[in-house]
Amino acid sequence: MTQRADISGGTAATADGTAKRRQWMSVLARASADEISARLEGCGTLPDCQILRGPETGLVMVRGRAGGGGAPFNLGEMTVTRCTLRTPEGTVGHAYIAGRDKDAARLAALVDALMQDSAKAKVLQARVIAPLAAAQRARREAIARKAAATKVQFFTMSSMRT
């Protein structure tokens, strides 16, 4: 079977794996330590992992673009906590979390490492990632509904003329 190369020079299978990992890391980065640990409770015994880096807190520079496409500018600094760990099987997990929640960074790195094992990934996807994503989607929709309720429609005199 021939794998087709994507634009970045990798294979299509690699690009698909990267996209999936990007999705679960996005969900984990937005979840609190309590949310992640509550979901992990139903997944059995978790392995003792070796911490390779962190969890440690630092600052990153947030950049923006005027109008979405203009010249980049430094918007300001943001606090980020990162963690890297290795499972007993040798899989390395990484996490970057906005804020100072070291437990969330450690748990997100653990789930990242475990998700890379195809045998564990299906269970974790169903019991951890999917429920967290659904809860996050519900929160976003509730905020959008609340904001939509306050929307004001302005009409100009020219649009009111017949």
pLDDT in tens, 45-65: 788 889 999 899 999 999 988
Both tokens assigned to 37: 């640990």
DSSP code per residue over 13-36: HHHHHHHHHHHHHHHHHTS-HHHH
pLDDT in tens, 6-28: 444 444 556 677 888 889 899 99
Residue 154 has pLDDT above 80, yes or no: no
The stretch 131-149 carries a mean pLDDT of 90
**What is the residue whose two structure tokens read 């904001």?**
147
The distance of Cα 148 from the centroid of its chain, to the nearest Å, equals: 26
Give every CB contact of residue 109 below 8 A, 6+ residues apart in sequence. Answer: 55, 83, 84, 85, 93, 94, 95
Domain locations in the chain as residue ranges: 12-160
